[in-house]
Structure 1
């Protein structure tokens, strides 16, 4: 077991004994493209109505959870059991505790695999802001029964566990070595892209891979400069080659999630920025953002 996974499991006490064995287990890796505790300060995990815990003080030195946060659920009966997992980002935890407003909910219905340890990634991302609501300590998706939010769109919440990859720390903790993506540094010289709102695409770069970020209008995401700086930018980095981020089409254009163009029209996104992935590697789902919330370190953004 990697050092990063031990740290995360220490922060997130597993329902049974996550990580104890290497068979019949599903490891849930919870990530975010937002900044904590600025954007949310409570991480809530619910499983099958039997496990419900809110992890607080996110981003603090004594945080109850760090990101990526991993929690393992293993089988006591040779695998195959159905499992329903809800993960929520809540705010105002210092005042309202476990019952603060819900910003994001992700729900997954799947089964614990047999004879292996599978990886299930569950991102709490900006484009799904507003996807959840709370009723006391319980949370539910605004997408309706059997649905959940992915990149701002409501999609079926059921996932066939046979399609999940085997767990590897390299796919969660920045290659397994605790590397992270420094959003403010990697987009320091980024330029605004012209967005074709008809197809929600931007021009690519045939010379090499690029990184893409959303500049938010409401100061969500990872910010540069001081709070009172009028030129301060707050950015959300998108994952490359991902259903939760962007993909490069056959013609070389970069396909953005449709929710991006919807939020541009609603003035929630101020600009789409791009930068060549040269000095910085390309942002992927397995490369977490740098910040005091980081599970494998505490580098400031």
Structure 2
């Protein structure tokens, strides 16, 4: 059990399992495609049961030697009544401190599952930059309406049926359970810009060959391959394969990107879409975190 999860269970007394038989638990796995601490350095997690706050914790100094959390971060919440409690989860990326500016907000409304440990993946991604705003130590929606949350730059329902969630396994969070990570700058060192069909927001695939896809941001967001001020520096955001928040290969063989990619290209927030064959590097997936000083190498089962 990770240090972060022990803190969560100790603080969430109303949902703590007191002498339960079967485990009724949901594990939240929090990740990002940005670079920490350059892009944000505070992770805030809040959990509500009804209108009552059950857990509120900022994790500061991300990416530093004294970081209060590493990424991916896992937090587990138990049931006190055989499962089924409805909870609302808010996860935010902030800067400077727990009342600092908010870059990204994800909200999920779900239930504690019964008789199992379920995995809920929550990703704080570049495409949802600007989705939250600070309200003192609280975080409010800045992009989506009530009942919605930002995923891949689009507002979708914040409700998730916990019965559809997979069982928790460290392999699905910590790089196959062995602490492996995806080196963005190395894996895209020889990447080439793709021609984007903006009508459907797709790019050409490569037949049966697997490919990796990244967004080159127009600013300095993402994982960069050089020092600040370098003329040829690129800052990249790697997309997850076979993911609603990343990319999928369609029946026609073309790679479907999130529509927000084309919208943000038109807004000059994204400079290019890059592709590289997944040969010397494996294909980037949600369960394979990016390498960096923020990386959590632990992979213990709960």
TM tier relative to shorter chain: over 0.9
**Contact 1:7-1:296 at 8 Å conserved across structures:** no
Q: What is the aligned partner in structure 2 of residue 280 from structure 1? A: 281
Q: What is the aligned partner in structure 1 of residue 122 from structure 2? A: 122
The equivalences for 1:192-271 within 5 A come to 192-271=193-272
The equivalences for 1:150-229 within 5 A come to 150-229=151-230
Deviation at 1:9, TM superposition (A): 3.0
Of 2, 6, 27 in structure 2, the residue corresponding to residue 6 of structure 1 is 2
- TM-score, scaled to structure 1: 0.92
- TM-score, scaled to structure 2: 0.92
User: Partners of 1:52 and 1:28 in 2: how far apart?
Assistant: 14
1:53 aligns with 2:85: no
Name the SS of the counterpart of 1:50 in structure 2.
strand
Which moves more between the two structures, 14-23 or 112-121?
Answer: 14-23
1:28 aligns with 2:51: no
> Mind listing any 5+ residue stretches in structure 2 that lack a counterpart?
none
Of 83, 87, 97 in structure 2, the residue corresponding to residue 83 of structure 1 is 87
Deviations 1:76-103 (A, max 9, x none): 1100000100000011x1xxx2111110
Which moves more between the two structures, 12-21 or 266-275?
Answer: 12-21
Distance change in 2, residues 1:12/1:59 (3 Å): farther
Deviations 1:42-77 (A, max 9, x none): 100111123211110000011001100000000011
User: Partners of 2:252 and 2:72 in 1: how far apart?
Assistant: 34
What is the aligned-residue RMSD (CA, Å)? 1.7
**Contact 2:8-2:76 at 8 Å conserved across structures:** no
**Contact 1:174-1:287 at 8 Å conserved across structures:** yes
Distance change in 2, residues 1:19/1:175 (3 Å): farther
User: Partners of 1:214 and 1:252 in 2: how far apart?
Assistant: 20
Name the SS of the counterpart of 1:140 in structure 2.
strand
User: Partners of 2:59 and 2:190 in 1: how far apart?
Assistant: 36
**Contact 1:11-1:66 at 8 Å conserved across structures:** no
